[in-house]
Amino acid sequence: MPRRPTRTVPTVLLHGSIGHGHGDWQPWLADQLRTAGREVRFPELPNPQRPDLAEWSSVLRDTLAGLPDDGFDVIAHSLSCLLWLHHATNHSGEVKASRPARVALVAPPVARPGADLAAGWSSFYPVPLDIDAIRGAADGTVLVGSDDDPYCPGGVAQAYGAPLKMAATVVPGAGSLTAETGFGPWPAVLDWCGRDNLAFIA
């Protein structure tokens, strides 16, 4: 029988612009955690095909409401990584904002001139890269991405790890870390949820 996670704090999952991602790892992870008795908050962010930062930010604030300060984890994928970076920066001075223990930002995209992106993505740019604000928004934050993500030319370590002075786990040849590139069930993210340390082991 597979080992169940031992960490017991609530987990917030934030999907990208494709919604809950049928077949992707987020619904699978939510099921695994709930089966293990974990509280999971996995909101449906509105209008994922034409996302709006203000609308998504409102849902995020509602999702975080009531969670124990420094007593929950956040895992964001794709465009939701930018949602979190905006949230962290805009709420850096708010005592009342729920603060997670750990955050994993998976496959954050960057803006590319001429990229064929959903029109609503423009509200998420420019991306705030305030090192102090992002460090202060959680006990620890880790980046996870690939070296060939079409939405993150140059790779996650170069695009986000270097400017944020943040650790990045690079998964070679993983694209945008979706079911299309083999990330339906994803044991590594379940393992991260079950451990107390920040390091993400791909």
For the chain, list the domains and their CATH numbers. Answer: 11-194 (3.40.50.1820)
pTM over cut 0.85: yes
pLDDT digits (tens, 9 = 90+) for 136-152: 999 999 999 999 998 89
First-to-last alpha carbon distance for the chain, in angstroms, is 21
**Which residue intervals of 68-115 are DSSP H helices?**
79-90
- Residue 153 burial (CB count, 10 A): 13
User: CA dist 116 to 113, 150, 151, 185, Å?
Assistant: 9, 11, 10, 28
Confidence at residue 162, expressed as pLDDT on a 0 to 100 scale: 95
At residue 136, the 3 state secondary structure works out as: helix
Q: In whole angstroms, what is the distance from residue 134 CA to residue 117 CA?
A: 25
What number is the average pLDDT over the span 49-62? 93
Average pLDDT over residues 7-22: 82
Pairing relationship of beta strands 11-14 and 168-171 according to DSSP bridges? unpaired
Do 152 and 162 form a contact (C-beta atoms < 8 A)? Answer: no
Q: Is the pLDDT reported for residue 64 higher than 90?
A: yes
Residue 114: per-residue pLDDT: 53
